[in-house]
């Protein structure tokens, strides 16, 4: 019963913040709403016994990605969307209509399908299980995605530095002094 109450409170909190993210005219407020959404989702992970994921969500998302977004929002001069042309009412209405239909179809599909459990040994995954799964080379292991994701991260960070860190273009092919 208690978990149900927590679930509905969290769901209302997350959806309200998500509405804020997609509709606030001030980008900084959108970023604050995004923090609220991510914290709420971390709370949902806690409700589902995924403590490690909850901690990762807070550390990487709220502590890393959102801070990055806030930095860029503040670097890019005008925070308010006044200078941008806003989406017209027609576009908003049609997007809302399409998504309502999509949501209806999704709920119908979920409702008409009965999920059956495959495993019976109910035990939440511990940090040890995560470590074993990430580094195991056996059939259930995730060593290959783990290595690939590390390469992807390195490539993305080097690419980000290359794209954003470029200084003034050299004049007439002259090399810039360091």
User: Scanning residues 5 to 64, which ones bind other proteins (CB under 8 A)?
Assistant: 7, 11, 14-15, 18-19, 21-22, 27, 30-31, 34, 37-38, 41, 44-45, 47-50, 52-53, 56-57, 60-61, 64
Instruction: Quote the CA–CA distance of 49 and 127 in Å, as a whole number.
Output: 12
Q: Is 137 in the site for other proteins (CB under 8 A)?
A: no
Question: Min. distance of Cβ 173 from other proteins in angstroms?
Answer: 21
For residues 123 and 139, give the distance between their C-alpha atoms in angstroms, rounded to a whole number: 20
Closest CA to 15 of 37, 38, 30: 37
Residue 144 interacts with other proteins (CB under 8 A): yes or no: no
Q: Do 50 and 38 touch, CB atoms closer than 8 A? A: no
Joined tokens for residue 123:
């035990």
145 forms part of the interface with other proteins (CB under 8 A) = yes
Q: Can you say whether the dihedral through the CA atoms of 118, 121, 127, 128 is positive or negative?
A: negative
Smallest distance, other proteins to C-beta of residue 19, A: 7
- Using rule CB under 8 A, residue 107 touches other proteins: yes
Of the two residues 119 and 174, which places its CB atom closer to other proteins in the complex?
A: 119
- Kindly state the tokens that stand for 114: 């009965």
Q: Which is nearer to other proteins, 114 or 174 (CB)?
A: 114
Q: Among 83, 112, 137, 172, which residue interacts with other proteins (rule: CB under 8 A)?
A: 83
Phi first, then psi, for residue 167 (nearest 5°) are -95, -165
Question: Which member of 91, 143, 147, 170 binds other proteins (CB under 8 A)?
Answer: 91
Q: Which of 82, 112, 119, 172 binds other proteins (CB under 8 A)?
A: 119
Other Cβ atoms less than 10 A from the Cβ of 46: the count is: 16
| 124 lies in the binding site for other proteins (CB under 8 A) | yes
Contacts 24+ apart (CB under 8 A), 67-74: 69/31, 69/34, 70/28, 70/31, 73/27, 73/28, 73/31, 74/28
**Shortest separation between residue 10's beta carbon and other proteins, angstroms:** 9
Minimum CB distance to other proteins smaller for 11 or for 170: 11
């Amino acid at each position: 019963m208690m978990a149900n109450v927590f679930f509905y409170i969290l769901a209302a909190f997350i959806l309200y913040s998500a509405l804020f993210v997609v509709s606030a005219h001030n980008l900084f407020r959108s970023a604050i709403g995004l923090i609220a959404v991510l914290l709420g989702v971390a709370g949902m992970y806690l409700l589902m016994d995924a403590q490690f994921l909850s901690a990762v969500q807070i550390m990487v998302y709220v502590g890393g990605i959102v801070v990055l977004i806030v930095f860029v929002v503040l670097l890019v001069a005008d925070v308010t969307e006044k200078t941008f042309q806003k989406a017209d009412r027609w576009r908003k209405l049609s997007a809302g209509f399409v998504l309502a239909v999509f949501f209806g179809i999704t709920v119908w599909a979920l409702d008409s399908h009965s999920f059956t459990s495959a495993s019976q040994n109910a035990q939440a995954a511990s940090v040890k299980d995560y470590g074993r799964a990430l580094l195991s080379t056996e059939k259930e292991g995730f060593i290959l995605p783990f290595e690939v994701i590390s390469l992807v991260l390195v490539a993305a960070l080097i690419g980000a530095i290359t794209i954003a860190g470029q200084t003034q273009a050299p004049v007439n092919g002259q090399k810039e002094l360091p």
